[in-house]
Amino acid sequence: MEKQSVLINGERLKNTVEEFANFGRTENNGVTRLALSEMDIKVRNHFKDVCEELGMTVKWDDMGSMYATLEGVENDKPPVVVGSHLDSVEKGGRFDGVLGVLTGIEIVRTLVESNIKPQVPVVVANITNEEGARFEPSMMASGVMSGHFDKGQMLKSTDKNGITFEKALKVSGFEGSKENRLTEAEAFLELHVEQGPVLESESKDIGVVECVVGMCCYEIEVIGDSDHAGTTPMPMRKDALFATNNLINEIREKMSKLDSDLVYTIGRLNVSPNIHTVIPNKVVFTLEARHKEADIIRQVEEIIHGLTTSEGKEKCEVTATKLWDRDTVWFNDKLVNSLEESCTSLGYSYKCMPSGAGHDAQFIATYLPAAMIFVPSVNGKSHAEDELTYWEDCERGVNVVLQAVLDLTAN
């Protein structure tokens, strides 16, 4: 059987996306479906019903992650898993996460209607609390599965109303058995919207994701003196905000010379005492940087530590404290090549690219073979109600994953 002989039903995929968006749809055609909320519970039950109608068996594990299994010829063999997440951020989009889960459903529908019985089982996965919008941190369940997060600590995580993840999980009815966790797989494949502008700007149909980039995040504190804004001569000041401005310019100048793929962000800046008649005596700001090469991140950290001895400090004291970091996670070469071959066989344009954002596949890749593809995001928008991926791009993306599944489950 040639790859191109089986394709998904694009209109059916579109209808399924809209059907699932009804669970938490907002006035502006976005979605609010926080993890283990009433809407998340409803969409989980709908997911279960849809999968069971296809003859799949549905189980969930001790973190609430769901696994719908289509039997294969050899059910004792590790499955091919397709999945992502059904939870959203507040006033998010219709495609983020859910499109990866519905990719699995549409693939199974295509296999069933084409009378194709896979050699090994095919599992469609809904991983709990990827967003971390209600319960921090993000990628909670995949982090527990992969051993990156301690389950006991995760159960204690609370939402803004003081409800713990543990309580919400028990109330949801989706607290399952640890034995149901995803512990083996021939492959874990995740389709996701890009959440950035690159594919659209380069007119590429598909992004084959090579890795999730490494990063570091620092908090930088600048300490000066508070004095009267009208009576203190400029040469006698220790202005923490002026010093911070100089440091930010230094950061941009030095980091811009490292590598064109490096991205860096000052996302939070607090000024004290924040009074218009008082010279600022303290500024605290965060600086994070992301790149796939460990050596570039190392050079970033050298620049950050160099800020404490740089010239433009306005006689202020500067300290830099690392909050956290992560190493680049590279996806399985065999699976990445399989996805590239699928793009080629279908005549879709593609580019190999890193992911700057985290995804469940990132943690799962640390203990199982995993890979990802991106489909274009219009104007790069995501985590917003106007998030949009054209239906034709959704269809192309699911076809790419389908062909990879056919390859991996062939007789």
* pLDDT tens-digit series, residues 336-388: 999 999 999 999 999 999 999 999 999 999 999 999 999 999 999 999 999 99
Q: How confident is the model at residue 3 (pLDDT cuts 50, 70, 90)?
A: very low
**Contact criterion met (CB below 8 Å) for 266 and 286:** yes
Residue with tokens 């059904």: 86
* Per-residue pLDDT at 2 exceeds 90: no
What does each C-alpha distance from 289 to 10, 71, 191, 275, 400 come to in angstroms? Answer: 38, 44, 25, 31, 32
Q: How confident is the model at residue 411 (pLDDT cuts 50, 70, 90)?
A: low
| Domains of the chain from N-terminus onward | 3-212+328-408 (3.40.630.10), 214-326 (3.30.70.360)
Question: In this predicted model, what pLDDT tens digit does every residue of 301-311 receive, in sequence order?
Answer: 999 999 999 88
State the burial class of residue 331 (Cβ atoms within 10 Å of its Cβ: 0-12, 13-18, 19+): buried
Segment 278-283 mean pLDDT: 98
Question: In this predicted model, what pLDDT tens digit does every residue of 109-145 receive, in sequence order?
Answer: 999 999 999 999 999 999 999 999 999 999 999 999 9
Rounded Cα distance, 194 and 206, in Å: 9
Residue with tokens 């109600």: 385
Q: How confident is the model at residue 5 (pLDDT cuts 50, 70, 90)?
A: confident
The whole-model pTM stands at: 0.92
**Contact criterion met (CB below 8 Å) for 87 and 35:** yes
**Contact criterion met (CB below 8 Å) for 288 and 236:** no
Which residue pairs from 37-41 have beta carbons closer than 8 angstroms and sit at least 24 positions apart in sequence? 37/134, 40/86, 40/87, 40/172, 41/172, 41/173, 41/174
Segment 302-330 mean pLDDT: 95
Question: In this predicted model, what pLDDT tens digit does every residue of 59-89 receive, in sequence order?
Answer: 999 999 999 999 999 999 999 999 999 999 9
Segment 7-29 mean pLDDT: 98
Residue 410 is predicted with a pLDDT of 85
